Amino acid sequence: MKDFAPASERNKGPILQVLREILRRGDLVLEVGSGTGQHASYFCSQFPHVRWQPTDLPGRLDSIRAFQHEGALPNLLEPLDLDLLRGDAPIGFANAVVCINTVHIVSWKGVENLFSLANRVLPSGGLIYLYGPYRYADRDLEPSNARFHQSLMARDPDSGIRSFEAVDALAQRQGLTLEQDRPMPANNRSIWWRKS
């Protein structure tokens, strides 16, 4: 039942270091696009006082459940169906929204819906954290990311590495203020915004 993504295994440690800085004891985290469930299970084991709500498309939930049952982690909640193209939120409140390597997979409408959802569920002071590759107006994409972008577009022309400036403008329109944009291994970024 459990799926396995090698990239999630590689990036979970560096992401953990950032999440240690930004999550607080008692937080409820809404994860969008949880994938295999590797991240959800690992972060729950590292943050026993944070509740983690994994979500993904309906066909992806079994692997998350398998990680949940194997880990027997009381803070890892039953995964819920969340399709960014529908735009509805499966829960009404979260202290943080976490979305890893997903905004280059969904269409731009899905990215718009992600930020609108964050605005709806976050309290003042809540944050949205994104991890993945981004393009910047003042420089070329790194060669590895340029190849990745081409491969994404060949599979789905509505997907692709997003412009940091366009995503930041979306966030601002939803009342979210950029807090940090940090380089991560393998030409990825950790970027987070806080609701004012």
Point out which residues bind ligand SAM (CB under 6 A): 5, 8, 33-36, 39, 56-57, 60, 82-85, 100-102, 105-106, 110
Q: Is 167 exposed, middle or buried (0-12, 13-18, 19+ CB in 10 A)?
A: buried
Residue 33 or 126 with smaller CB distance to ligand SAM = 33
Smallest gap from residue 12 Cβ to ligand SAM (A): 9
Contact 140, 132 (CB under 8 A): no
Residue 134 beta carbon to ligand SAM: minimum distance, rounded to whole angstroms: 15
Nearer to ligand SAM, 12 or 182 (CB): 12
Least spacing, CB of residue 135 vs ligand SAM, in Å: 17
Kindly report the number of other CB atoms within 10 A of residue 191's CB atom.
Answer: 23
Shortest Å, Cβ 150 to ligand SAM = 16
Cβ at position 84, least distance to ligand SAM in Å:
4
Q: Where are the beta strands (DSSP E) in the chain?
A: 28-32, 51-56, 80-81, 96-100, 127-132, 134-135, 162-163, 176-184, 188-195
> Which residue has its beta carbon closest to ligand SAM?
35
Closer CB to ligand SAM, 44 or 82, in the complex? 82
Neighbouring C-beta atoms of residue 151, cutoff 10 Å:
11
Sign of the dihedral through C-alpha 69, 28, 23, 8: positive
Which C-beta is closer to ligand SAM: that of 17 or that of 177? 17
The amino acid at residue 73 is L
3-state SS, residue 97: strand
Nearer to ligand SAM, 78 or 125 (CB): 78
